[in-house]
Structure 1
Amino acid sequence: MADRPRALLAMSPEFLAQLFPEPLMRRLAAVLDFDPGFVVQDFSEPAAKAALAEAEVVVSSWGVPRLNDEVLAGAPHLKAVLHAAGTVKWLLGESGWERGVVVSSASGANALPVAEYTLASILMAGKGIFQLREDFRKERSFTLGYIHPQVGNFGRTIGVVSASKIGRRVLELLRPFDFKVLLYDPFVDAAEAAELGAESVGLDELVARADVVSVHAPDLPETAHLINAERLALMREGTVVVNTARGRLVDTEALTVELLNGRLSAVIDVTEPEPLPAHSPLYDLPNVFLTPHVAGSHGNELSRMGLFMVEDAERYAAGEPLLHRVDPETLWRQA
């Protein structure tokens, strides 16, 4: 393509090949003019400054230096940032938003494996798999034909906290199952919730009614300890808490108390602090399934994040609207 927009890669170099394997790199190079062997990690270096001064597009990911106002002053031609990772809240200085720099994010791609992990957790928890596995491992035998009365997914009530990108994908994945779905989101009214396949309720009602409470709210000052001791106390015995959002959304100390006494169970991929200290009882409790922040994109899933940005690079070069453009007006309430 003639007159390809001049671009610059900015990220930790070890991620480049995972995000953009050869077929995707060829597509990216077909629409953007950049040096694939030059990856910026520090905008203060002379070579990085020179490249940024000519760049119209920055293709970024984890490890990108912040494009603060000082850096942006040296990037007079910059018009777009294609971020092959999740949140961009911290990435762009105020002057960038003011001059209309377009930002695209692969957060939608990262939402997909998180939602899949969540669905698997909900289904496995409903079958009582985590506790039954512990019991079976200890006893090494079982009675064929015995019906476990307290398990099963038919008619369960699932409470989804926030219709974020991940929350919306979870709601979509829940549709084929025989669940009653509740949704708490202060920015979603009853009609929209119904369109998403859920009943809109207050958070206290949600935690009191749900068999599984799945947390997908953004990490904001307002959402710190959204699931606190009082709301944990509202949950019925046997409720399962699933947290794939951020650890700060759930009061870890209060949840630990409930897990230690066996009243609740939990599937936890994120914690506060992260990781938990080695002496935390959550590592060993049979009613806790604890994983090391793996719900998001890993392995071959990274190339899907790259794909999202390649698609937007192609649209940008063609003068078309970006599919994954970040709305600066609503960015404050996003993850």
Structure 2
Amino acid sequence: MSRPLIFMDPYPRTQEMVYTPDCAVALAQMGDVVAHWGSRAPDDLVEANLDRMTILIGQTAMDRDRLDRAPNLRAILNVKANWEPNIDYEACQARGIHVLSAAPAMAPAVAEYCLAQAIVSLRGLGNADALYRSGQEAYGIAGNQRARSLYGAEAALVGYGNLGRALVPLLRPFGVRLSVYDPWLSDGYLRAEGVEPVGLEEAISQSDVLFLLAGVTTENEGFLTRSRLASIRQDATVVLASRAEIVEFDAFLELAASGAFRAVVDVFPQEPVPENSPWRLYDRTLFSAHLAGGLTASYARIREAMLDDIGQILKDHPPLRMQRANPKHAAAMRSR
């Protein structure tokens, strides 16, 4: 029998991220590797390998017609943390093709970011260094007039997927009251996870710290409107670390700048953000350039999970490490 063909089309991931020398050796032991870097693989390269393709690593478009021409395909591994709308998820499920995402591998780093930035925001430490260097610092209680503690705070998560499940264990030592709004999950499941299910309005208006962790779908894009954002508790900290498209973004920054709440922003509707963007002018917000998950350790976890699950699949065992696609949910996602 011929060896499995592993087709790598992981753009925008690079070789340094997902095809390090040790990873290349491991994949070569599992099958023949065809790889394309620097852009999405051209159609002629994809078509030339469809009949032998066993494992597809990347975001290659795979509609029903193309799946018909890939009779040996057993898995599609998206090494980004999203679902793209260019795959026929229902057809894959019907044919027993595993469709997987690397999202769980990114979650620990994002959770760490959320915890760190929440504390920095609550304590008002974002500009402490600049105040000190300019001689405008105030010491002790005088410099902590608006500082708040995470200990014993009311914390709410909007979205309880990979990110939420990674964040909750980090929050528990602070004795916070944890509530979650996630319309895709049952109240019983959330209570079994040790969090309190709440409605959207309660999550937004009754929290000292609000973590916005939901993905963006065809149904929820922009669902956090200006009027909803206006109900956020005065002086609460809001951490936006998943998808910017779930909020009315300009309104979010305007309300934060007005002092309605404190904001932490790591994601933007357009990336890279243009140099002359008015978003850069808003104050009272801690900005970072989509840094939450993109650590060397995250890509190491992606490679490890990818290799584990490919090995499982080639042995006719179910994948264990990466996230499986639910056809209905995956098809509705609108992540970039």
Name stretches of at least 5 consecutive residues in structure 2 with no aligned partner: none
The equivalent position to 1:49 in structure 2, one of 47, 50, 55, is: 47
TM-score for both structures, normalised by structure 1: 0.87
RMSD over aligned CA atoms reads 2.8
Deviation at 1:99, TM superposition (A): 2.4
1:84 matched residue in structure 2? 79
Equivalent residue letter for 1:252: F
Deviation sequence 1:154-179 (CA, Å, 0-9, x none): 21111110111112211222122221
Alpha-carbon distance between aligned partners in 1 of 2:75 and 2:150, rounded to the nearest angstrom = 46
Deviation at 1:9, TM superposition (A): 1.8
Q: 1:175 to 1:145 in 2, by over 3 A?
A: closer
2:159 matched residue in structure 1? 162
The equivalent position to 2:291 in structure 1, one of 276, 289, 294, is: 294
The sequence identity of aligned pairs, in percent, is 25
Q: 1:13 to 1:288 in 2, by over 3 A?
A: closer
Alpha-carbon distance between aligned partners in 2 of 1:289 and 1:241, rounded to the nearest angstrom = 10
2:173 matched residue in structure 1? 176
Alpha-carbon distance between aligned partners in 2 of 1:43 and 1:139, rounded to the nearest angstrom = 57
Mapped contact 1:106–1:306 kept (Cα < 8 A): no
2:102 matched residue in structure 1? 106
Moved runs in structure 1, 4+ residues, more than 6 A?
37-40
1:71 matched residue in structure 2? 66
Mapped contact 1:8–1:39 kept (Cα < 8 A): no
Alpha-carbon distance between aligned partners in 1 of 2:183 and 2:37, rounded to the nearest angstrom = 44
Q: 1:252 to 1:134 in 2, by over 3 A?
A: farther
Q: 1:25 to 1:201 in 2, by over 3 A?
A: same
Q: 1:80 to 1:286 in 2, by over 3 A?
A: same
Mapped contact 1:40–1:48 kept (Cα < 8 A): no
Deviation at 1:313, TM superposition (A): 0.8
Equivalent residue letter for 2:280: Y
Mapped contact 1:282–1:288 kept (Cα < 8 A): no
Helix, strand or coil at the partner of 1:78: coil
Equivalent residue letter for 1:98: A
Q: 1:284 to 1:37 in 2, by over 3 A?
A: closer
Mapped contact 1:5–1:56 kept (Cα < 8 A): yes
Deviation at 1:82, TM superposition (A): 2.2
Alpha-carbon distance between aligned partners in 2 of 1:314 and 1:98, rounded to the nearest angstrom = 22
Mapped contact 1:6–1:34 kept (Cα < 8 A): yes
Alpha-carbon distance between aligned partners in 2 of 1:207 and 1:13, rounded to the nearest angstrom = 34
Q: Which deviates more from structure 2 when the two are superposed, residues 35-44 or residues 145-154?
A: 35-44
The equivalent position to 1:239 in structure 2, one of 226, 236, 239, is: 236
Deviation at 1:42, TM superposition (A): 3.2
